[in-house]
């Protein structure tokens, strides 16, 4: 029964990737600079929204581990749990309280869709790692891509958390509103925070060497890549002195897509 639920949810996550990517290329998720909560039926405080969105990912996989055979003495599966929680406890209990600026309302539809995804994603990753692959031992350090995957994961975490800190520093220095970010990978791209998060979960896919990890990496790209393009176009539209050499998502790779507002095709 539970095996069937796992398979259905795993297939669902893979199947959603392309439609989500295509949809978000044409429809901007209505939060942040693209927010229009006046149309929303139900809205949340931004900090509370982030906590509610991220908490299910941390809680779901933790509960799965508590009742799993992976808790047997000598099993190293707990390493996967610690790596996962390292990110999600930060995103749930630290990141929301580092946010600067106005406490904009967050559309309830975004909160609930993210909540659903994080339950699903936490379940398929946790079920695979703690039920379908119990009893992991020290061989993972020498006979699997665990170590390079962990290095990539930590590099991605540093990139996105450091890039977020640069954005927060802009508001401390320049006041409310949006400003041109500088420093770090902002020298080359407009959205290193998104790139870093995709790198991080690509590292997770490698270190777990699993289909749920791969599904998560692909879905992360489908969710963040369109957002990066939209952000980049927004900066170019709203700042005449925005650095022309910056790309949207990847350093040194320029993507051509028509901006529906300006007609510009090079972003």
Q: Give backbone dihedrals phi and psi of 121, rounded to 5 degrees, phi first.
A: -65, -45
d(CA 183, CA 163): 8
The pTM of the full predicted model, rounded to 2 decimals, is 0.92
Average pLDDT score, the chain = 90
Per-residue pLDDT at 135: 85
Per-residue pLDDT at 173: 85
The residue ranges of the chain whose pLDDT is under 70 are 36-41, 101-104, 255-267
Per-residue pLDDT at 41: 57
The 10s digit of each residue's pLDDT in 95-117 is 999 987 556 678 888 899 999 99
Per-residue pLDDT at 44: 81
Per-residue pLDDT at 26: 93
Per-residue pLDDT at 108: 85
């Amino acid at each position: 029964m539970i095996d069937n639920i796992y398979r259905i949810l795993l297939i669902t996550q893979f199947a959603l990737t392309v439609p989500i990517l295509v949809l978000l290329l044409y429809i901007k998720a209505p939060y942040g600079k693209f927010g229009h909560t006046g149309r929303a039926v139900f809205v949340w405080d931004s900090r509370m929204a982030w906590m509610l969105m991220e908490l299910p990912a941390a809680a779901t996989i933790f509960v799965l581990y508590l009742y799993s055979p992976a808790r047997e003495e000598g099993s190293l599966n707990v390493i996967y749990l610690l790596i996962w929680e390292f990110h999600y406890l930060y995103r749930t209990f630290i990141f929301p309280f580092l946010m600067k600026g106005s406490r904009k309302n967050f559309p309830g539809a975004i909160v609930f869709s993210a909540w659903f995804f994080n339950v699903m994603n936490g379940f398929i990753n946790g079920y695979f790692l703690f039920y379908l692959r119990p009893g992991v031992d020290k061989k993972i350090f020498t006979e699997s891509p665990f170590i390079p995957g962990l290095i990539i994961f930590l590099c991605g975490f540093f990139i996105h958390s450091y890039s977020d800190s640069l954005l927060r520093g802009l508001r401390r220095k320049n006041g409310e509103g949006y400003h041109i970010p500088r420093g770090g990978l902002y020298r080359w791209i407009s959205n290193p925070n998104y790139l870093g998060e995709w790198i991080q979960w690509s590292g997770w896919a490698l270190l777990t060497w699993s289909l749920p990890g791969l599904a998560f990496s692909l879905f992360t790209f489908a969710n963040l890549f369109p957002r990066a393009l939209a952000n980049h176009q927004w900066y170019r539209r709203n700042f005449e002195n925005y650095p022309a050499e910056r790309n949207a998502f990847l350093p040194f790779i320029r993507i051509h897509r028509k901006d529906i507002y300006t007609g510009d095709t090079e972003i």
